[in-house]
Amino acid sequence: MINIIGLGPGNENYITKLGERLILDSEVLIGGKRNLESIKDFKGEKIEMASNLKEILEYINNNSDKQISVIASGDPLIYGIGRYLSKNIDNENLNIVSGISSLQYIFSKIYVDMNDLYITSSHGKVPDFDYILSHKKVCMVTDSKIGPKEISREIINRNLERTVVVGENLSYDNEKITMGTPKDILNIDKFDMSVVVILDEK
């Protein structure tokens, strides 16, 4: 069986009990360097996953008789590895264990419900900001090219009134959550990789 397990937003306390049990029962653990390092008690083989997705997929398909767990930050089906693997692995041999996503985490910290939330990402694409900003409640997973400042400029360019929330290093000891107007966000020097919430609270 191949497991794809969400580790939660980062802090090991957010791993589900089911995910933790499946990880420790696995023969092989596959994941990013930081994720592998976070699993302390695993005794089996560890394989690092980076840009070598085709090689990882080939290994998984050639070793389907082993108990393999692929671990990922957050929830693997929210802009994660889950989509790619579920399209390329026989689903009868696949078990996906959801994790708490960074999106869920940040909304719990700002006490806002996720009802009617539009979820998107700027990874590897140019977002359609006209469409995105037509929603009253948005959460965007950002990258190094389009982050809090670029989003804030797009809001200002459209003369919209929005509250912007930036979550950095969520659930870690150096977590930082910043809330303000787009102009407030532009006045901050820089941000780490982040999740951005955009709220129209009219």
Say yes or no: 131 and 185 in one domain: yes
pTM for the whole structure: 0.89
9 and 96 together in one domain: yes
My answer on whether 107 and 93 are in the same domain is: no
Instruction: Name which of 152, 147, 176 is nearest 164 in CA terms.
Output: 152
State pLDDT tens for residues 74-110.
Answer: 999 999 999 999 999 988 989 999 999 999 999 999 9
Q: Is the pLDDT score of 19 beyond 70? A: yes
pLDDT computed for residue 7 by the predictor: 96
Are residues 194 and 172 part of one domain? yes
pLDDT in tens, 41-74: 899 999 999 888 899 999 999 998 999 999 999 9
Chain centre distance of CA 67:
24
Residue 165: predicted pLDDT: 97
What's the number of domains the chain is made of? 2
What's the CATH code of the domain at 34? 3.40.1010.10
95 and 109 share one domain: no
Write down the mean pLDDT value for the chain: 93
108 with 189, same domain: the answer is yes
Question: Residue 202's pLDDT is what?
Answer: 60
Angle, vertex CA 98, rays to CA 134 and CA 107, nearest 5: 40
Mean pLDDT calculated for residue range 135-145: 92
User: Residue 190: which CATH number?
Assistant: 3.30.950.10
CA atoms within 13 A on the CB side of 67: 8
Three-state SS across the chain? CEEEEECECCCHHHCCHHHHHHHHCCCEEEECHHHHHHCCCCCCEEEECCCCHHHHHHHHHHCCCCCEEEEECECCCCCCHHHHHHHHCCHHHEEEECCCCHHHHHHHHHCCCCCCCEEEECCCCCCCHHHHCCCCEEEEECCCCCCHHHHHHHHHHCCCCCEEEEEECCCCCCCEEEEECHHHHHCCCCCCCEEEEEECCC
Closest CA to 103 of 12, 23, 194, 7: 194
Among 100, 121, 142, give the residue marking a domain's end: 100
Structure confidence at residue 160 as a pLDDT band (50, 70, 90): very high
Mean pLDDT of 183-190: 94
Domain limits for position 39: 2-100
pLDDT > 90: percent of the chain: 81
Residues 60 and 111 in one domain: no
What was the pLDDT predicted at 131?
A: 97
Q: Are residues 86 and 170 in the same domain?
A: no
pLDDT at position 103, please?
A: 95
One domain for residues 83 and 16: yes
Tell me: do 19 and 90 sit in the same domain.
yes
Quick check: 143 pLDDT over 90? no
pLDDT of residue 123: 82
* β-bridge partners, 119: 139
Residue 163: per-residue pLDDT: 97
Query: Looking at the structure, do residues 107 and 187 belong to the same domain, yes or no?
Result: yes
Tell me the pLDDT tens digit for each residue of 36-46. Answer: 999 988 999 99
**Are residue 92 and residue 111 in the same domain, yes or no?**
no
Asked if the model's pLDDT at residue 117 lies above 70, the reply is yes
